[in-house]
Structure 1
Amino acid sequence: MGHWLERNIVEPGKLPLLLALGAFVLTFVVTRSVTRLIRAGKGPFRNVESGGMHIHHVVPGVVLSVVGGFGALASRQGLGSGVFAVVFGVGAGLVLDEFALILHLADVYWSEQGRKSVEVVVVTAAMVGLVLAGFSPFGVDDLSADELQDRGAVIASVVLNFVFSLLALSKGKARTALFGVVVPVVALVGAVRLARPASPWARRFYRRRPRTRARAGLRACRHDRRWAGLGRRFQDWIGGRPDPQPSRAADRRS
């Protein structure tokens, strides 16, 4: 294990990234555990307030991210870079745990919209993990030594994989496009398959093709039916179940 760590993490200079990822994941797990205890009214933890205002943990998260980021740039290497990497990971974990709050500019932490925070954290951790495993953006790591010396081959590879990711994004497959940045075959699959019905690609190219539009809608429905429930249960297991939303009938009665 020590030899593997030295060869694959320390020598390539990835130790700060590993420390940041570890701090990021651990911070998210601890933060979610604490907030779930506060929500249940258990344990010694309470919401932090000042002058009657609830201080969200995104606030210290932003401060720690700024300190860790600038500190890592200033130290570059040595013990300092590792320390600031941990500080940055902690800050990023606090910030992204409340990503939905930043996105909606509202306290949606335990609402259905709050699921977006869990999704962003999982995707971020997975992306950093892929980089740690040796995947380079746009598949440059797939090139041979001779191809890497050929600047034209590198540029062509980057452009082609970028186009695949862009096509996947235009077809309404944001996560596929994101993972396709570091795993080009994922972007290729997303680029060649049918677009999501509400995507820009479908609105532009399926408008006069009712059969294709129907096939895209059917495929999206089957995909969501197969994976949406599993994804929700996974998010609930990680971040906690959102508060039940009042029905529209109850809203009309009130």
Structure 2
Amino acid sequence: MRRWLEDDVIAHGRLPLLCFLLGFILGFVVIRISVRLIRAKVKWWPGNLKAGDTHIHHMVFGVITVLLSGIGLIATAEDSTQVTSSVLATLFGIGAALVLDEFALIFYLRDVYWEEQGRTSVDAVFVAVAVTGLLLLGVQPATFLDYDSFRQSRGIGVRVGFALSLALNLLLAAVVIAKGKIWTGLFGMFFAPLLLIGAVRLSRPGAPWARWRYGNRPKTMSRAIARERRYRRPVIRAKIFIQDLIAGTPDIEHARTAAEAELQRTVVAAPSAPPPHPHLLPRRRAEPAGDHAADE
């Protein structure tokens, strides 16, 4: 472990990345414990923070922490030591964990923390951990790109081509993630064909893409729901059977019926978009006084 830390992490300048990962995991674990204690109404644990009647979500503190530590990383980039960068990276990781823990709220623009859609936050956290872990191991995203040629070449054509290829890769990843295929988007960053497959196939029914694109297309939404249930059915059946087995009452028929009930409850269409805030609606211009006078 020590040899790996010295030879593969510190020697390659990845200590800040490791500290970011540790800070991220620590922040996520602590905030998850905190919200569960708050939900359980444990008396000795501080409750939700409020400003008047407004509940202050912990992602607000995450945004502030990310902003301050990010500025620190940029400001000290030239003269920073690994120790300084590691401290700031740890703070950045903690802040990022607070933000991603409420990623579903940002994604759906409503508080779904304890709802089925709230699992999107957990998926986002797992993706962040997985991506950081791959980078820590030295794996580069968009492996089809020639990074060495980009560094060595001064030709504008090579640089433009590299930038366009990378932008296309990121765009496809964004589409795939918007379709609710978090893990496909993750591994697709390191294996591009997965992004193409994920981008052209149906969205998951509860994903933002389905809400944006399938709201007025009931047949497409029905296909997405049927497909999601078809792929999730064996997984849920296995999960319930294992739970029954541990409880000492394994029953295949119960696993089937319970799985169907869970699929009916959890695999549903994406929630409709919230109505626009009154302040965002276009205002009607007041008619000139002369027009009223003329009407009279």
Q: What TM-score, normalized to structure 2?
A: 0.59
1:167-224 CA-to-partner distances (Å, cap 9, x unmatched) read: 9946957431332112446447657xx8227789xx9xxxxxxxxxxx9987654323
> What residue identity is the alignment partner of 1:54?
H
The one of 69, 72, 90 equivalent to 2:94 is 90
Distance 1:227 1:164, change over 3 A: farther
> What residue identity is the alignment partner of 1:17?
L
Q: Is the 8 A contact 2:66 2:95 kept in 1?
A: yes
Q: CA RMSD in A?
A: 4.2
Q: What is the CA–CA distance in structure 1 between the aligned matches of 2:111 and 2:147, rounded to whole Å?
A: 49
Flag the structure with larger Rg: 2
By how many angstroms is 1:54 displaced? Answer: 2.0
The corresponding residue for 2:186 is: 178
What is the aligned length? 220
The corresponding residue for 1:22 is: 22
Distance 1:87 1:148, change over 3 A: closer
Distance 1:195 1:230, change over 3 A: farther
1:117-145 CA-to-partner distances (Å, cap 9, x unmatched) read: 1111111111111111111111158x797
User: Which ranges in structure 2 are unaligned for 5 or more consecutive residues?
Assistant: 214-222, 240-264, 267-296
Q: What is the CA–CA distance in structure 2 between the aligned matches of 1:173 and 1:100, rounded to whole Å?
A: 11
The corresponding residue for 1:195 is: 201
Q: Which has the higher mean CA deviation after the structures are superposed, 105-114 or 168-177? A: 168-177
Aligned with 1:22: secondary structure?
helix
Runs of 4+ in 1 over 6 A off after TM superposition: 143-152, 197-200, 215-218, 228-231
- Does structure 1 residue 166 correspond to structure 2 residue 180? no
Aligned with 1:137: secondary structure?
coil
The corresponding residue for 1:34 is: 34
The corresponding residue for 2:10 is: 10
User: Which ranges in structure 1 are unaligned for 5 or more consecutive residues?
Assistant: 204-214, 232-243, 246-254
Q: Is the 8 A contact 2:59 2:99 kept in 1?
A: yes
Q: Is the 8 A contact 2:64 2:95 kept in 1?
A: yes
Q: What is the CA–CA distance in structure 1 between the aligned matches of 2:166 and 2:66, rounded to whole Å?
A: 33
Q: What is the CA–CA distance in structure 2 between the aligned matches of 1:29 and 1:84, rounded to whole Å?
A: 19
> What residue identity is the alignment partner of 1:29?
V
> What residue identity is the alignment partner of 2:201?
A
Q: What is the CA–CA distance in structure 2 between the aligned matches of 1:172 and 1:82, rounded to whole Å?
A: 34
- Does structure 1 residue 130 correspond to structure 2 residue 131? no
The corresponding residue for 1:54 is: 55
1:104-162 CA-to-partner distances (Å, cap 9, x unmatched) read: 33332222222221111111111111111111111158x7979996896xx68x94995
Distance 1:34 1:226, change over 3 A: same
Q: Which has the higher contact order (CA 8 A, sep 6+)?
A: 1
Q: What is the CA–CA distance in structure 2 between the aligned matches of 1:121 and 1:173, rounded to whole Å?
A: 14
Q: What TM-score, normalized to structure 1?
A: 0.67
